[in-house]
């Protein structure tokens, strides 16, 4: 059975990829993910703030005595808050690419295009097969308008594309006014892949401690629906590859994402909950399902239920909303 897929120009043996997670903080885990069958691994993110902090710290040392940098240093989170600085990150990336035969994708998280983009080039030199850009940004400043924010995302992508020759993926937020149009703009700006979607970690309130809680909850399978919708809509309409991230807790979600049109499907929560061997469960589950349905290659099934290919394209749009509400009312009564 032919499970091969092409993702951001990389030829992969099958579509199961390990997404950015703390598992990639350990060299040994890269080998374990490869052994469990990962077709590629995305490393955890290096943050713009980490890079800028290190640059500012170095400059501060050089100009020590003058406190011109004191303000900029205090702007960044404490250095100790981060376990890994850029040098350690690049070192781990280099060793990981030497240790495994599968592609290793470096991950950068930033929202300005200044002072840190060079790090993308260093990731390429360290052996990364690609770069994933995670532009996590909550536009809480009320004077910023949508266009300005969209332009920031595009500027970051263009700056990184100009710095490297390896492929660049954009890990997107689902919260654009026109997600499809934004996807097209990223595509035209040269994104080699779109990763749908970045999971935003929203705060909660602790009523006993009267504090804002910022804990991290793992995903649930129900969360596949938003990425599934947009992968289904975008499949066949843009050149960039599509990666699905969020909610893969069994082969079922993996298969749904592929039918909607994903070129690869990523896992973090599943691996954190069930161990790295979860990747094997996914690949074997996909194979078993394809055998049962008599598919010979992934190409036959990928995107066969996307909006452009399915018999009921309305199911992806507003018309279906009215139907869903009507059906619910009928059942309820």
Ligand X SMILES: Cc1cc2nc3c(=O)[nH]c(=O)nc-3n(C[C@H](O)[C@H](O)[C@H](O)COP(=O)(O)O)c2cc1C
Query: Which CB sits closer to ligand X, 286 or 295?
Result: 286
CB of 250 to ligand X, least distance (A): 12
Residue with tokens 């937020």: 173
- 278-292 and 27-36 helices cross at what angle (nearest 10)? 20
Among 14, 32, 161, 171, binds ligand X (CB under 6 A): 171
Residue 293 CB, shortest distance to ligand X, in Å, is: 24
Choose one: 29-37, 49-57, 147-155, 265-273; the region binding ligand X (CB under 6 A).
265-273
Applying CB under 6 A, does 29 fall inside the site for ligand X? no
Residue 314, number of CB atoms within 10 A of its CB: 12
Q: Which is nearer to ligand X, 54 or 253 (CB)?
A: 253
Decide whether 174 or 190 has the Cβ nearer to ligand X: 174
CB nearer to ligand X: pick between 270 and 303: 270
Q: How far is the CB of 220 from ligand X (least distance, A)?
A: 8
Q: Which residues of 154-193 are buried (b: 16+ CB within 10 A; e: fewer)?
A: bbbbbbbbebbebbbbbbbbeebeebeebbbbbbebbbbb
- Asked whether the bond before 197 is cis by omega within 30 degrees of 0, the reply is yes
Least Å distance between CB 139 and ligand X?
A: 18
* Closest CB 259 distance from ligand X, rounded Å: 18
Within residues 92-131, the interface with ligand X by CB under 6 A covers 107
Are residues 16 and 37 in contact, defined by beta-carbon separation less than 8 angstroms?
yes
Asked if residue 22 binds ligand X (CB under 6 A), the reply is yes
Q: Where in 211-250 is the site for ligand X (CB under 6 A)? A: 216, 218-219, 245-248
Query: Could you tell me the smallest distance in angstroms from the CB atom of residue 266 to ligand X?
Result: 6
Decide: 159 and 191 in contact? Cβ < 8 Å.
no
- Cβ 195 to ligand X, closest distance in Å? 7
Work out whether 268 is an interface residue with ligand X (CB under 6 A). Answer: yes
Stretch that binds ligand X, among 15-23, 93-101, 120-128, 274-282 (CB under 6 A): 15-23
Closest CA to 193 of 171, 221, 224: 171
Q: Alpha helix locations (H) across the chain?
A: 27-36, 48-62, 70-75, 86-99, 118-125, 146-163, 179-188, 225-234, 251-260, 269-274, 278-292, 298-301, 318-332
- In the chain, what is the straight-line distance between the N-terminal and C-terminal CA atoms, in Å? 48
* Helix/strand/coil percent split, the chain, to 5: 45, 15, 35
Shortest CB 219 distance to ligand X, Å? 3
Burial class (CB in 10 A: 0-12, 13-18, 19+), 215: exposed
Residue from the set 30, 44, 82, 295 that interacts with ligand X by CB under 6 A: 44
Which of 7, 17, 21, 259 forms a contact with ligand X (CB under 6 A)? 21
Binding site for ligand X (CB under 6 A): 19-22, 44-45, 107, 134, 171, 199, 216, 218-219, 245-248, 267-270
């Amino acid at each position: 059975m032919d499970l091969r897929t092409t993702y951001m120009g990389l030829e992969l043996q099958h579509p199961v990829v390990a997404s950015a997670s703390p598992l990639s903080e350990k060299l040994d885990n890269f080998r374990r993910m490869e052994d469990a069958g990962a077709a590629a691994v995305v490393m955890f993110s290096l943050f713009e703030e980490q890079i800028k902090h290190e640059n500012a710290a170095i400059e501060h040392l050089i100009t020590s005595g003058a406190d011109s940098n004191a303000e900029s240093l205090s702007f960044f989170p404490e250095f100790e808050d981060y376990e890994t600085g850029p040098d350690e990150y690049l070192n781990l990336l280099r060793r990981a690419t030497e240790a495994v035969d599968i592609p290793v994708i470096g991950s950068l998280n930033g929202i300005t295009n200044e002072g840190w983009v060079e790090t993308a080039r260093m990731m390429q030199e360290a052996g990364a097969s690609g770069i994933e850009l995670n532009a996590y940004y909550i536009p809480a400043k009320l004077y910023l308008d949508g266009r300005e924010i969209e332009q920031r995302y595009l500027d970051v992508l263009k700056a990184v594309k100009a710095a490297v020759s390896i492929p660049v993926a954009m890990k997107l937020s689902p919260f654009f006014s026109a997600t499809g149009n934004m996807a097209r703009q990223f595509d035209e700006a040269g994104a080699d892949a779109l990763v749908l979607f970045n999971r935003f970690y929203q705060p909660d309130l602790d009523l006993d401690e009267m504090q804002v809680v910022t804990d991290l909850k793992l995903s649930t399978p129900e969360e596949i629906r938003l990425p599934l919708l947009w992968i289904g809509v975008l499949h066949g309409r843009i050149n960039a590859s599509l990666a699905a991230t969020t909610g893969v807790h069994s082969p079922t979600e993996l298969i749904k994402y592929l039918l909607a049109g994903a070129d690869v499907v990523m896992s973090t929560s599943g691996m954190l909950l069930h161990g790295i061997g979860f990747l094997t469960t996914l690949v074997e589950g996909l194979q078993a399902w394809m055998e049962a349905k008599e598919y010979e290659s992934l190409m036959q099934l990928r995107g066969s239920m996307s909006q452009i290919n399915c018999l009921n394209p309305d199911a992806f749009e507003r018309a279906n909303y009215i139907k869903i509400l009507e059906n619910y009312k009928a059942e309820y009564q």
